[in-house]
Structure 1
């Protein structure tokens, strides 16, 4: 058994496919299958159940794979300790973000990281919150930008900024003539929301329930840009985080809420066991710089 074989196990477990796992590991599928079969034979247990349609993990296989993940994390920690000792602001940085934030933040952030942290090899990952948390715990990400609060243990958080929600309405809507609205003005109205799995959906639903608004049952979107186009087409109204707002956009009006306005707290999150605090402190500064409006 060697570290390479453990990476093969984890890849198959993640993807439930020998073909896709081989692609991830940059080897041929027969070679990967042969190595895993050798490992199973040497251990005397079956780790995967194979069929033409899917790959299943056996109960003993699940325990072995969990142990393999821990071993891989520990070896990566050793490598990170060595790299960090040489230069804390260099090396590979795997940073995640959820779609309703990363789409609007990552482009500017990537530029700032390239300018200020030339020794960093940046890898950006866009995924929903649950997926990001899982990748953080598995050691597949170094850090992630997430909305607070988080109920997960073993994570360190640094609050970066608050992203206010505005109400996006068609320019033909009666509310479009206002400069500000109150949350109670939502009572009895239907609001377009994102599909299941988006943290923004949960935050928006909470505001709706408190103020007597309902979710539009016939229309649901997979991304903010779809919601934006639906509002412009006159299909309804939606919540839009300020980071995604486009001022003076034809066909749509963005209305601020009178205090107290709804918002989300955005934080940088990493494992408490990570040794890259110096890098994360600098990254936090750059994220805050990226969300600042340009100076005149």
Structure 2
């Protein structure tokens, strides 16, 4: 049994005619017919019913043809793997991104990737850090953009940028008139946080650990909004429900009518955003190219890390 013979039976099943199948395979009809008969003899089954204007596929032949197509697809996939080995930038790159980075980085990152790496489309997946780490481990993702710290899983890591945090407050709030805010000054405020599972929630609690202690009390943090996004939390700030802490890149470029964004006093709390991948992943050139696309993005207010 050869791939050529499998290709012939798929063609005959598609064309329902030996002559047209031979033309589609660029061989003579006798060559194709002999090869199909040889395969039937080897398998000791009849794949096609011959006679009449059209060739019919037997019920067992239908199953064989379907499996032949699977084999041909897998053989083609092997060629694609070999092709990517010769050109690491050829073929999709499966990229995971945490929820609090994706909405602010991906629009421009995808634009640069399309311009610079048209042969390497990005297959994107948003999720929590713990889920992205699991998908990296199982090979469902090639790489992921996450914020440190996260458990040491033996991944290779390239730092992308350090991103400071800022405070989002209602425009009518007294803090909206400040040039800078210290962590001490927000301890008495009602703090709105992302739900459990978001690493950014943990980052904010590192800035103001007392909110974790007060999370179930009437004072301080009123409620943890499970599954909420940063944009939803901002809307809640706009409605006057409290204040929140957000990463710099989530700050809108234009002033907002109901929310003011006030920087922290120096040195501001921040997070380090990194690109991580399995050490066994062989397409390092693809990783380097993706990193360059990130650096090509406009990253207002962050410190790029190029080492």
Q: Does 1:200 align with 2:206?
A: no
Q: Which residue of 1 aligns with 2:269?
A: 262
Query: How does the TM-score come out when normalised to structure 2?
Result: 0.66
Q: Which residue of 1 aligns with 2:240?
A: 234
- Asked if 1 retains the 8 angstrom alpha-carbon contact of 2:98 and 2:145, the reply is yes
Q: Deviations over 1:194-239 (max 9, x none)?
A: 0110000011111111699955223525111110100000100001
Q: What's the offset of the Cα at 1:121?
A: 2.4
Q: Which residue of 2 aligns with 1:280?
A: 287
* Counterpart-to-counterpart distance in 1, 2:209 and 2:242: 17
Number of residue pairs aligned between Structure 1 and Structure 2: 219
- Asked if 1 retains the 8 angstrom alpha-carbon contact of 2:205 and 2:211, the reply is no
Runs of 4+ that moved beyond 6 A: 78-81, 210-213
Compared CA separation, residues 214 and 260, structure 1 to 2 (3 A): farther
* Counterpart-to-counterpart distance in 1, 2:270 and 2:80: 36
Compared CA separation, residues 201 and 211, structure 1 to 2 (3 A): closer
Q: Which residue of 2 aligns with 1:101?
A: 101
Compared CA separation, residues 263 and 79, structure 1 to 2 (3 A): farther
Q: What's the offset of the Cα at 1:188?
A: 2.3
- Asked if 2 retains the 8 angstrom alpha-carbon contact of 1:186 and 1:212, the reply is no
From the CA coordinates, give the structure whose radius of gyration is larger.
2
Instruction: Please tell me the root mean square deviation across aligned C-alpha atoms, in Å.
Output: 2.4
Partner of 2:240: helix, strand, or coil? coil
Partner of 2:162: helix, strand, or coil? strand
- Asked if 1 retains the 8 angstrom alpha-carbon contact of 2:205 and 2:212, the reply is no
Compared CA separation, residues 80 and 261, structure 1 to 2 (3 A): farther
Compared CA separation, residues 175 and 213, structure 1 to 2 (3 A): farther
Unaligned runs of 5+ in 2: 1-77, 216-220, 302-307
Query: How does the TM-score come out when normalised to structure 1?
Result: 0.69
